[in-house]
């Protein structure tokens, strides 16, 4: 009898210990988890999971503290879906993507202006877990009219982050979006790192990360190979820090295009540094539309320590941007003022002879453009050149190539 109850006590103790371990692990390490499979999701590669994901999102969002929406390994088909806040009692909401999400290919399922996946009005969102967003874009690219029409119907962006505060986007892969891979719109404090993006070099408008009207954005340590800009920083963006990006193929790292619409916000306080750009159309670019409907500015922008390899236009400010002559009146100069721009320690090779182009607005010339320690060799061997129009530019440093324009 004593033996029996001794054994029982030991068993009880170990059960209690176990329970304690489980409880503490839960409390300390893992947040409350909402597994999409418990809400009807199926990784069969056929079923649309948007309703199941939304049910799991709504459960997580209306919960409290640190919560996790778990998408275990497997391939999940997902029609367009909007994950909305506010999630009032939630501290952090982690979208933990281990699996692969595949976008629907039926464009009729996407309403006008709809993107594929939108996260909106949340504070403390984390999107991580090593999984993949596959936009299945190859079937949609033929329907993209933007390269030939100024006001075009825009295809769905793969993942749109809209009006979020304090977001972390970490360790995720994005492939073949129908339009941009990622858009960051009206967000405050957004950090992306360890992101891997891939789409064919000739896929239209597949920008890697596009930022508009956001502040406190940091994009770092990521690899972007795509058909358009690796990173593009649009109107109203301030306090943006880009570093450690391996970019190419693609169109490089761009500010703009600016000045397309009325009442655009100013762009200021940007740092782009420690990046490698190879086999791209542009390297570092600021582009503004001709005939801008209203005035705005782009100022305090630093590009530093950038390695270029076989880049067609390594450094380019283009204020006559008007792709395929889509402008209503190509005689009217841009009204975006560009000032206080620093290009420092930019090395490597240019695929065209003109390595530096500063083509500014005749109405508002560029002010205080500094090029310091630039060494860009034309791949064919002859010296590279610089072109300047309506730009007040200062070239400095030893072994400068191209030589300053006069």
Site for ligand NAG in 238-257 (CB under 6 A): 239, 244, 246
User: Which of residues 51, 55, 121, 150 is near ligand NAG by CB under 6 A?
Assistant: 121
Closer by beta carbon to ligand NAG, 271 or else 389: 271
- Please state whether the peptide bond connecting residue 282 to the residue before it is cis, i.e. omega within 30 degrees of 0: no
For 113-122, letters b (16+ CB in 10 Å) and e give: ebbbbbbbbb
**Smallest separation (angstroms) from ligand NAG to the CB of 250:** 14
Query: CB within 8 A of 304, min separation 6: which ones?
Result: 271, 272, 273, 274, 342, 343, 344, 345
Binding positions for ligand NAG, 149-188, rule CB under 6 A: 163, 165, 188
Q: Say if CB 202 and CB 141 are below 8 A apart.
A: no
Q: Which of 181, 210, 251, 313 does the annotation list as catalytic?
A: 251
> Residue 304 interacts with ligand NAG (CB under 6 A)?
no
307 binds ligand NAG (CB under 6 A): yes
Edge-to-edge strands, sheet with 354-359: 81-84, 117-120, 159-162, 182-185, 209-212, 231-233, 253-258, 282-289, 313-321, 354-359, 385-389
Residue 359, Cβ neighbours under 10 Å: how many?
17
Does position 200 interact with ligand NAG (CB under 6 A)? The reply is no
Clarify whether 121 is annotated catalytic. Answer: no
Q: How far is the CB of 330 from ligand NAG (least distance, A)?
A: 33
Cα(397)–Cα(374) distance, rounded to whole angstroms?
Answer: 8
Label residue 382 exposed, middle or buried (CB < 10 Å: 0-12, 13-18, 19+): exposed
Does the footprint of ligand NAG cover residue 400 (CB under 6 A)? no
- What does the alpha-carbon distance between residue 400 and residue 402 come to, in Å, rounded to a whole number? 6
Site residues for ligand NAG, window 22-81 (CB under 6 A)? Answer: none
Span near ligand NAG by CB under 6 A; candidates 121-129, 202-210, 226-234, 327-335? 121-129
Binding to ligand NAG by residue 300, rule CB under 6 A?
A: yes
CB of 259 to ligand NAG, least distance (A): 21
Binding to ligand NAG (CB under 6 A): which residues in 343-372?
345, 347
Residues whose CB is less than 8 angstroms from the CB of residue 399 and which lie 6 or more positions away in sequence, other chains included: 375
| Residue count, binding to ligand NAG (CB under 6 A) | 21
Residue from the set 33, 42, 186, 276 that interacts with ligand NAG by CB under 6 A: 276
Pick the closer one to ligand NAG by CB: 100 or 198: 198
* CB 55 within 8 Å of CB 111: no
Choose, by CB under 6 A, the member of 191, 201, 269, 304 that binds ligand NAG: 269
**Member of 77, 99, 123, 172 binding ligand NAG (CB under 6 A):** 123
Kindly list the residues in this chain that would bind ligand NAG in the complex (CB under 6 A): 85-86, 121-123, 163, 165, 188, 239, 244, 246, 269, 271, 275-276, 300, 305, 307, 345, 347, 375
* Residues classed as catalytic: 251
């Amino acid at each position: 009898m004593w033996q029996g109850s001794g054994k029982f006590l030991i068993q009880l103790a170990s059960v209690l210990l176990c329970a304690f371990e489980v409880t503490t692990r839960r409390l300390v390490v893992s947040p409350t988890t909402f597994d999409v499979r418990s809400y009807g999701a199926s990784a069969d590669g056929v079923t649309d999971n948007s309703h199941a994901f939304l049910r799991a999102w709504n459960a997580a969002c209306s919960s409290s503290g640190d919560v996790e929406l778990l998408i275990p390994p497997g391939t999940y088909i997902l029609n367009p879906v909007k994950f909305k806040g506010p999630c009032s009692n939630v501290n952090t909401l982690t979208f933990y993507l281990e699996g692969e999400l595949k976008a629907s290919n039926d464009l009729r399922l996407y309403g006008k202006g709809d993107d594929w996946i939108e996260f909106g009005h949340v504070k403390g969102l984390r999107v991580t877990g090593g999984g993949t967003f596959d936009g299945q874009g190859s079937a949609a690219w033929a329907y993209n009219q933007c390269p030939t029409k100024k006001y075009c119907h825009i295809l769905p962006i793969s993942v749109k982050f809209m009006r979020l505060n304090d977001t972390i986007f970490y360790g995720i892969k994005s492939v073949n979006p129908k339009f941009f891979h990622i858009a960051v719109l009206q967000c405050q404090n957004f950090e992306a790192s360890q992101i891997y993006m891939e789409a064919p070099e000739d896929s239209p408008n597949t920008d890697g990360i596009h930022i508009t009207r956001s502040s406190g954005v940091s994009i770092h340590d990521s690899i972007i190979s795509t058909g358009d800009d690796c990173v593009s920083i649009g109107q109203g963006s301030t306090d943006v820090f880009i570093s450690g990006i391996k970019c190419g193929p693609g169109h490089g790292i761009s500010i703009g295009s600016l000045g397309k619409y009325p009442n655009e916000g100013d762009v200021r306080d940007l740092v782009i540094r420690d990046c490698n750009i190879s086999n791209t159309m542009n390297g570092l670019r600021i582009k503004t539309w001709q005939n801008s409907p209203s005035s705005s500015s782009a100022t305090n922008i630093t590009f530093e320590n950038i390695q270029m390899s076989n880049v067609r236009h390594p450094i380019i400010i283009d204020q006559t941007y008007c792709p395929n002559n889509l402008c209503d009146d190509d005689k009217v100069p841009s009204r975006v003022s560009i000032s206080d721009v620093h290009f420092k320690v930019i090395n490597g090779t240019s695929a065209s002879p003109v390595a530096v182009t500063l083509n500014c607005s005749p109405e508002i010339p560029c002010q205080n453009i500094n090029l310091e320690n630039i060494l860009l060799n034309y791949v064919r061997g002859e010296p590279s050149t610089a072109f300047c129009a309506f730009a007040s530019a200062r070239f400095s440093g030893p072994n400068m190539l191209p030589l300053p324009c006069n």
